[in-house]
Amino acid sequence: MTSTLFQPIKLRELSLPNRIVVSPMCQYSATDGTPGEWHLIHLGQLALSGVGLLCIEASAVEAIGRITPACLGLYSDDNETAFRGLITALRRQSDTPLAIQLAHAGRKASSHTPWDGGKLMAAEAGGWETIAPSALPFSPPEPPPRAMQAADLVRVRQAFVHAAQRAARLGIDAIELHAAHGYLLHEFLSPLSNQRSDAYGGSLENRMRFPLEVFTAVRKVWPESKPLGVRISASDWIEGGWDLAQSIELARRLKSAGCDWIDASSGGLAPEQKITPGPGYQVPFAEAIRKELGIPTIAVGLITEPKQAEDIIASGRADMVALARGMLYEPHWAWRAAAELGGQVRAPKQYWRAPPRGAEAIFRDAKVGQR
Ligand SMILES: Cc1cc2nc3c(=O)[nH]c(=O)nc-3n(C[C@H](O)[C@H](O)[C@H](O)COP(=O)(O)O)c2cc1C
């Protein structure tokens, strides 16, 4: 096989059969953070897709860290119990490696779901007071979040630790910490959202402190054999904001703290951002971080074509590619990629008769017999 996209990769003791990742995608379909039927159907479908890694959506580490009241969480025993049923069912039907993204939405919490407009949710509508490094709203007409006190820092750090311990008990294979898209950890990193005057604000060193503390605390309780990665926004796309040079410094520190990948996204911090999305527009971030530090990277953002994904991996610009919208549109994207690139995926035996003429070889170990 010559395709690099379909080469396995090992992250600590976890072997991914190929370099294709289902990017985390919020489903806004949970109740009190607890997954339900929708998650089984949605993740069940994606677990049959032949990808190398399926990352479960941003899951909040405390209730006020949910983006919306319908976001997933891993902060209560009820959450964990329902996750156990979900993971058990997925495991029975699929051997696709499973990751979970652990998150805190910070000042972007307490929002309406996208299909209800996505705006900040007022207390009367069921919203709550949000927290952030500084009392600066995402969008100035909004009321400001509450600036985190020392006790909040301790609580949130512990909440990440407890969620990681729950993930370990659930047998999840990998964790990605969400430090992108203007959520809490990103809010600490960016000088635009972090204007603290204590040890957690000001210099780059101080702004990185809380995200690095969270990382280190999680790494300590997450099994040594399992990988822990971080998604960052490599640029705020705003003058004077967080940028690639600072991202490289952060990635350097994360790497020495035992980080297994950097998932290089961008933006989401503030409405003033100026982004021109185009095919693979964030790939240069993954490339720069990988080339500078030699840490594995995930490229994400408008990667839609198998050949495009293959080129990213083959040219050494990233170690893995993540697809989000493309996977919703075409859940068996990896099958098509295997057919186009000469790769192979594992598919459920119930689907072994699926490949069109000429693509019969895409399913590893498939046998079809009839009398
Ligand atoms: C429905 C939807 C939900 C998303 N939820 C998350 C999320 O939970 N965590 C995250 O880091 N990014 C989230 N994203 C961003 C994607 O993971 C991805 O980075 C982005 O969509 C760009 O990739 P794409 O061009 O392949 O869609 C979401 C995107 C979509 C479309």
Pocket test of ligand 1: the residue of 23, 108, 111, 300 to mutate, having most ligand atoms within 8 Å of its CB, is: 23
pLDDT of residue 128: 98
Three-class SS of residue 110?
coil
Annotated catalytic residue within 28, 75, 183, 200: 183
pLDDT of residue 205: 98
Per-residue tokens: 103: 């998150």
Q: Is 301 in the pocket of ligand 1 (CB under 6 A)?
A: yes
Let me know if 329 is a catalytic residue.
Answer: no
Strands in 306-351 per DSSP E: 320-323
pLDDT in tens, 123-172: 999 999 999 999 999 998 899 999 999 999 999 999 999 999 999 999 99
pLDDT of residue 1: 57
How close is the Cα of 16 to the center of ligand 1, in Å? 21
Pocket test of ligand 1: the residue of 325, 330, 333 to mutate, having most ligand atoms within 8 Å of its CB, is: 325
Length of the chain counted residue by residue: 371
Residue 144 has a CB neighbour count (10 Å cut-off) of 15
Give the Cα separation of 16 and 261 in Å (integer).
13
Phi/psi at 50 (5° precision): 80, 15
How close is the Cα of 174 to the center of ligand 1, in Å? 18
pLDDT of residue 2: 87
Q: Is 236 in the pocket of ligand 1 (CB under 6 A)?
A: no
**Helix, strand, coil percentages for the chain (3-state, nearest 5):** 35, 15, 45
Work out which ligand 1 atom sits closest to the CA atom of 265: 19
- The single-letter code of the amino acid at 176 is E
Q: Is 323 in the pocket of ligand 1 (CB under 6 A)?
A: yes
Record the pTM: 0.98
Three-class SS of residue 156?
helix
Exposed e or buried b for every residue in 87-104, given b needs 16+ CB within 10 A?
A: beebeeebebbbbbbbbb
Give the Cα separation of 234 and 245 in Å (integer).
9
User: Do the beta carbons of residue 29 and residue 86 sit within 8 Å?
Assistant: no
pLDDT in tens, 219-275: 999 999 999 999 999 999 999 999 999 999 999 999 999 999 999 999 999 999 999
Residues in contact with 241: Cβ distance below 8 Å, sequence separation at least 6, in sequence order: 190, 191, 192, 235, 269, 270
pLDDT of residue 34: 98
pLDDT of residue 187: 98
Find where tokens 């909004």 sit: 142
How close is the Cα of 300 to the center of ligand 1, in Å? 9
Query: What mean pLDDT is reported for the chain?
Result: 98
Give the Cα separation of 291 and 300 in Å (integer).
17
Strands in the chain per DSSP E: 9-11, 14-16, 20-22, 53-60, 98-103, 131-132, 146-147, 174-179, 228-233, 261-265, 297-300, 320-323
User: Do the beta carbons of residue 66 and residue 34 sit within 8 Å?
Assistant: no
Q: Is 58 in the pocket of ligand 1 (CB under 6 A)?
A: yes
Each of the 371 residues of the chain gets a pLDDT tens digit; together they read 589 999 999 999 999 999 999 999 999 999 999 999 999 999 999 999 999 999 999 999 999 999 999 999 999 999 999 999 999 999 999 999 999 999 999 999 999 999 999 999 999 999 999 999 999 999 988 999 999 999 999 999 999 999 999 999 999 999 999 999 999 999 999 999 999 999 999 999 999 999 999 999 999 999 999 999 999 999 999 999 999 999 999 999 999 999 999 999 999 999 999 999 999 999 999 999 999 999 999 999 999 999 999 999 999 999 999 999 999 999 999 999 999 999 999 999 999 999 999 999 999 999 989 88
Residues in contact with 272: Cβ distance below 8 Å, sequence separation at least 6, in sequence order: 238
